[in-house]
Amino acid sequence: MELANLSVLLVWGAATALAVALVAFAVDLSRLSGAKVDARDATRSRDKVAVGAGGPVDASADAPADAPAAAAGPVNRRLAGVGMSVTWLAAALLLIAIVLRGIAAGRTPWANMYEFALVGTFVAVAVFAGVNTRRDVRFLGAFVTGISVLFLVLAQQQFFVAATGVQPALQKYWLVIHVGVAICATGIFTVAFVTSVLQLLRDGRDNGSVMLGSRHWGWLDHTLTPSALESLSFRLNSVAFVLWTFTLIGGAIWAEDAWGRYWGWDPKEVWTFIPWVVYAAYLHARTTRGWSGTRAAWFVVAGYACVLFNFTGVNLIFNGKHSYSGL
């Protein structure tokens, strides 16, 4: 029991660390917004004049590449660095919390909704931090840490169950594989979702959206271009999609042994199938003339909504074969 309590404390610690990281990342973004002297902004103000004069909207996407990138000098991004360090700390705390939870329960620590939320959050944070070691995606930080804090607090407040063993239907190595892979997929989908939302916002700003054109959204100019965001989102989504496909197949293999059929349109199965189809549609949309880019990004948003509903709604609303362990 002491280990279990320690695990809970560590989760609160991780949530606190993520909240600190969230503040650091947010302040960093607002600083970026303030740094307004930028080739892009120069182009934009020119456009605004043109619009005001009733002229045609000139797409600003082709800002002259030879303009100085930041005439006002580099923005101080130390806070983003602080945010990254605290994010790593949070990931470490969460990992220890998960391991302790597993030891306390004497089994794999992802057998109920609470544990699923912990591990899923850990994967999202770890994927974000991992991608950041290869390229600068600190602009994602505020959103990934924000969602993670939300998940962790929600898990502690609403989904918490005491650490204990599981009933016979869950006692199989497939619990490790099937649920573990599903959690990884969910975590990666989360980061990809954030990337796609940024892509949509940036795209809206670049295309002269009135709301997104304001100074408050200036930080969007310091993210990647819409096409770079699209390509990052696609890479994450394709990894997660393969994992999700494996979740479906692994689940079917397990269901064949546990329930005597590999597929029975149980609510959880339906809501695993639906995001799979939506993400499959996304992959098709990317290569369909007229549907790539912004439209494809909306599929990611829809797909992630389905993933979230699969995780929350199906467990809480429907009564299916996946309704184990209270939550």
**Residues of this chain that bind other proteins (CB under 8 A):** 62, 65, 162-165, 167-169, 171-172, 227, 230-231, 234, 238, 241-242, 245-246, 249, 252-254, 256-267, 270-271, 273-274, 277-278, 280-281, 283-285, 287-292, 306, 314, 318
Residue 121 or 247 with smaller CB distance to other proteins: 247
Burial annotation 292-315 (CB, 10 A radius, 16+ → b, else e)? eeeebbebbebbbebbbbbbeebb
Residue 68 or 264 with smaller CB distance to other proteins: 264
Question: Structure tokens of 240?
Answer: 């997660």
Instruction: Give the shortest CB-81-to-other proteins separation in angstroms.
Output: 24
Q: Which amino acid is at 223?
A: T
Residue 141 or 303 with smaller CB distance to other proteins: 303
Instruction: Give the shortest CB-198-to-other proteins separation in angstroms.
Output: 17
Instruction: Give the shortest CB-257-to-other proteins separation in angstroms.
Output: 6
Other CB atoms within 10 Å distance of the CB of residue 90:
27
Question: Structure tokens of 163?
Answer: 């650490």
Residue 156 or 238 with smaller CB distance to other proteins: 238
Residue 12 or 318 with smaller CB distance to other proteins: 318
Other CB atoms within 10 Å distance of the CB of residue 110:
23
Measured CA to CA, the distance from residue 182 to residue 244 in angstroms comes to 6
Instruction: Give the shortest CB-247-to-other proteins separation in angstroms.
Output: 11
Q: Which amino acid is at 97?
A: A
Q: Which amino acid is at 46?
A: R
Between vectors from CA 111 to CA 176 and to CA 6, what angle results, nearest 5°? 105
Instruction: Give the shortest CB-201-to-other proteins separation in angstroms.
Output: 20
Residue 158 or 164 with smaller CB distance to other proteins: 164
Measured CA to CA, the distance from residue 156 to residue 114 in angstroms comes to 7
Residue 45 or 257 with smaller CB distance to other proteins: 257
Residues 6+ apart with CB under 8 A from 183: 110, 116, 119, 120, 123
Residue 54 or 290 with smaller CB distance to other proteins: 290
Instruction: Give the shortest CB-242-to-other proteins separation in angstroms.
Output: 5
Measured CA to CA, the distance from residue 278 to residue 276 in angstroms comes to 5
Report CA-CA distances (Å) from 249 to 111, 180, 212, 263, 273: 19, 13, 42, 10, 11
Instruction: Give the shortest CB-231-to-other proteins separation in angstroms.
Output: 4
Instruction: Give the shortest CB-202-to-other proteins separation in angstroms.
Output: 16
| Residue pointed to by tokens 């992959």 | 283
Report CA-CA distances (Å) from 261 to 244, 253, 254: 20, 9, 9
| Residue pointed to by tokens 């609403």 | 158
